[in-house]
Chains A and B, each alone.
Chain A
């Protein structure tokens, strides 16, 4: 079943009074099933804030987020953790693997958090490592991996629990453009192969063009929706 996401009149204001920052203002959009969306915009425009709310890491101060018909946010912390564990796969900026674990062990972490049994988890980790061209590096410690390898492990980890949503924040921040492009290409390939909804924050237009659709943010608002070049 393809994932649907509807964001309705979403608001996030940090702080209050004179210090209040309206990071996200009246944002509404819907995604098509299995879409890969790029979220672009200048620094400070509210991209990360929006992504964090969709991912259940941050409570909105207004509006709704509906994933597959049920509302996210406003829920108890424990329910949000469950939502993140079962529904969301995150790829953060560089260096978010556990450094003392190998590539393969890092993939097994989400499985240990969830209900995946050990044999299934091992098989799945093996398959993902292969798909992302990491089988030779499976037993390398996270600290011994190159930046590009690390991000590919992070992508594989995000897919371990078979999420409905893959949320990615600046995955190429620490990579040169050639490597960054490879990482984003494999990310999009994996997400499409699973009929999962992908949202990637980037300030790199070249990367954004790889997506099905590009949402552009300015001062907390979505100004432009347009199709990515390669999607047409």
Chain B
């Protein structure tokens, strides 16, 4: 109560602290958004696979680029005990031209219609077995190319050029840092390997449904869960550790700045704390007032920075070059809770100071 009254009476001083808290929490929120955004870019299409586990060829170290499975292996995977459903997926990276003229690559995923590998079409229609020249493009692909469902798009792979018709739009996100594009597995096959020979691989990976599959191995394949598959995407682990260290620094800096501010405020108030303790206030009572202030100021800071981050997110989405920042409700909740916690941790310095104040200073006989 005293702590909150003080905030009301010393608006300028506390507004300044609230501003700093706002800026720091905004920064930490954006870093967290970047973490989520980079993850989405790295492989939201993988996360979106309708699968409990994924099979890779066993020499591929869970890399979708290196993984190649023969038809025999695909069949063997499908017959593994515990597998209730399976779908082979082929992957190849091919180039397309963006609306601004730059050439970029897209992740071409070959699937068989009617299997669990089939993506959900949000606009247009799904591919049929006859759509050898058709593709399903992710929203991000359409945004980058400026094309729509029904348009033609030219794809280049090695020296080959091929025109595809965009048959439908999907919302699966990115695969391996590229917009996801789904084609028929037979189309993928000709795109990646050209003329078919006996030894040509039939798929890159196999999506699996069933319980207890991760960890299983067989002749020429191994099965991992989606989390492992995701973590093994090249670049993901480095990217995540960078984001994590930024995030940790953000929290520590937040705790330090809030801690130092309130420590200085506490130092300034030592005579008043002495009087309070002399008239019988416990250390806890005094500390509670400081905590109340810290929580109050942090809450104000978060009440400004969270909407600010939301607005920034919306603004960044409008940019033609997608900035990899994305937020989930979870990001906001956990970041806010952690920042609040760190702010409270930061007041530990002040708590020590409060305990050290000897109430006798109220009598003015000691320094």
The complex places the Cα of A161 from the Cα of B282 at a distance, in Å, of: 16
Count chain B CB atoms within 10 A of each CB in A82, A109, A161 and give the residue with the most.
Answer: A109
User: CB within 8 A of B280: which of A58, A86, A96, A105?
Assistant: A86
A109 touches B276 (CB 8 A): yes
Give the interface of A toward B (CB within 8 A).
48-49, 51-52, 55, 57-58, 78, 81-86, 88-90, 92-93, 96, 98-101, 105, 109-110, 112-114, 141, 157, 161, 169
The complex places the Cα of A78 from the Cα of B282 at a distance, in Å, of: 7
Residues A52 and B360 in contact in the complex (CB < 8 Å), given A98-B2, A98-B272, A100-B5 = yes
A90 touches B2 (CB 8 A): no
Contacts of B281 in A (CB 8 A): 81, 85, 113
Residues A92 and B10 in contact in the complex (CB < 8 Å), given A110-B279, A113-B281 = no
The complex places the Cα of A49 from the Cα of B271 at a distance, in Å, of: 18
Contacts of B363 in A (CB 8 A): 48, 51-52, 57, 92-93, 169
Give B360's nearest chain A residue, CB to CB: A57
The complex places the Cα of A98 from the Cα of B360 at a distance, in Å, of: 17
A110 touches B280 (CB 8 A): yes
Give A105's nearest chain B residue, CB to CB: B5
**Residues of B contacting A: mostly:** helix
A96 touches B362 (CB 8 A): yes
Contacts of A141 in B (CB 8 A): 9
The complex places the Cα of A213 from the Cα of B308 at a distance, in Å, of: 68
Contacts of A110 in B (CB 8 A): 279-280
Contacts of A81 in B (CB 8 A): 277, 280-282, 359
B275 touches A96 (CB 8 A): yes
The smallest beta-carbon distance between B366 and chain A, in angstroms, is 10
Extra inter-chain contacts (5) besides given A82-B280, A100-B6, CB under 8 Å: A85-B280, A96-B362, A98-B275, A98-B276, A141-B9
Q: Does B20 contact A (CB under 8 A)?
A: no
The complex places the Cα of A79 from the Cα of B1 at a distance, in Å, of: 24
Q: Does B365 contact A (CB under 8 A)?
A: yes
Contacts of B275 in A (CB 8 A): 92, 96, 98
The smallest beta-carbon distance between B281 and chain A, in angstroms, is 5
Give A84's nearest chain B residue, CB to CB: B280
Give A154's nearest chain B residue, CB to CB: B275
Contacts of B9 in A (CB 8 A): 100-101, 141
Q: Does B270 contact A (CB under 8 A)?
A: no
Residues A90 and B272 in contact in the complex (CB < 8 Å), given A84-B280, A112-B2, A113-B285 = no
Q: Does B278 contact A (CB under 8 A)?
A: yes
Give B7's nearest chain A residue, CB to CB: A100
